[in-house]
Amino acid sequence: MKKRQNPMSEYEEQNNQANRIAPLGVLRLGMNWIGAIASVALVIGLVYWVFSLGTRDPNDIPIIRAMEGPARTQPENPGGAQANHQGLAVNSVQSEGSTEKPAETVVLAPEQQSLTSEDLAQSELAAAKPELRPEPKPATKPTPEATEVAKTEEPTPTVQDPSLIVESIVVENESTVISSSDYAPLQSPVPQSRPANLSSRIEAAAEVKEEPEVTDPENVSSVPIGTRLVQLGAYDSETIAAIEWDKLIGKHGDLLTGKKRLIQSAESGGRTFFRLRAMGFNDVEDSRNLCSALLARGTPCIPVSAR
């Protein structure tokens, strides 16, 4: 037979269990409410922050106020190095705020001092001062008495080639032209001594072959404008141009036959020179053909027209 428990004891046992469970339920309920309230507060704060970003008034923006007084002040004793080019008229506009008055006195700048001969380089000295060479002494011409004595003592010479006699005369003329320049050339040709029987040789050469006819140079004023010409060179003097013409005749006589010599003076850069030209052409093609032939032989030639 089962023993029946006391009802009072059962009630007390249940009451004890309820007393033990009650604090845990209250604590759990409180934690739930605290979490719910915190979540709602966080959501409300987030909504308010987003709303305040969109509706912030410009006056609410923080402003940094400037300090009282000037931002920069010039020290009484700045010290340090002074800037260059102070006190010029162009700087007075920035410093004083106005342009400077015009100067009362205007003075020219001093002339530029040139270097002395001691300061120049050796190459510049050599270019500035050309080397002077002693001029060759002209050959001494024999007196008429010596010529007569030579004729009586020496037999009549055999007639030589006339071209050799003409070449000896041309060499003497060239030496005379070169010696008359301002400065003697670096290597001047040595003049040949005049033979005592030169007159007899010239007479014999004249009997064998007559002297070629020399055409006088054409006068510049007689050349009409537009005349076709060819320029053969430019020289420092008229004498040198005439000698060069004689050389061209001897070298290119077959091409310059029937052509007349023309020497014209011109100036360029304060220097006077003489142009050696030839005239006697029918048209432009005639002058160009002559220049082409001379250029093929190595002689410079330029077809031009008189101006």
- For 252-286, the DSSP string reads STTTSTT-EEEEEEEEETTEEEEEEEEE--SSHHH
Residue written as tokens 């400037």? 66
Nearest by Cα to 280 from 230, 237, 244, 234: 230
Gyration radius from the chain CA atoms: 60
Query: Helix, strand or coil for residue 125?
Result: helix
The alpha-helical segments, DSSP class H, found in 55-143 are 89-96, 122-128
Q: How many other C-beta atoms can be found within 10 angstroms of the C-beta atom of residue 241?
A: 24
Say what the pLDDT of residue 105 is. Answer: 82
Give CA separation, 293 vs 128, 188, 231, in Å: 41, 32, 14
Nearest by Cα to 262 from 238, 285, 297: 238
Ordered by where they begin, the domains of the chain are 144-208 (no CATH), 220-305 (3.30.70.1070)
Torsion of CA 28, 30, 31, 36, to 10 degrees: 130
Q: How far apart are CA 84 and CA 80, in angstroms?
A: 13
Q: How many other C-beta atoms can be found within 10 angstroms of the C-beta atom of residue 218?
A: 20
Sign of CA pseudo-dihedral 286, 291, 296, 297? positive
Nearest by Cα to 278 from 235, 224, 216, 228: 228
Say what the pLDDT of residue 168 is. Answer: 42
Q: How far apart are CA 20 and CA 109, in angstroms?
A: 117
Q: Which stretch of DSSP H or E encloses residue 246? A: helix 238-251
Tell me phi and psi for residue 276, to 5 degrees. -100, 115
Non-local (6+) Cβ contacts of 282 within 8 A are 228
Non-local (6+) Cβ contacts of 255 within 8 A are 290, 293, 294
pTM: 0.31
The DSSP bridge partners found for residue 275 are 234, 264
Query: Helix, strand or coil for residue 305?
Result: strand
Please give the single-letter amino acid code of residue 101.
K
Say what the pLDDT of residue 119 is. Answer: 55
Q: How many other C-beta atoms can be found within 10 angstroms of the C-beta atom of residue 289?
A: 14
Per-residue tens of pLDDT for the chain, all 307 residues: 445 555 556 656 666 666 666 666 778 888 889 999 999 999 999 999 888 777 766 666 667 777 788 888 888 887 777 777 776 766 666 666 666 677 778 888 777 766 665 555 555 545 555 555 555 555 454 555 544 544 444 444 444 444 444 444 444 444 444 444 444 445 555 556 665 655 655 555 444 334 334 344 444 446 788 888 889 888 888 899 999 999 998 888 888 888 888 888 888 888 888 888 888 888 888 889 889 988 988 888 998 888 7
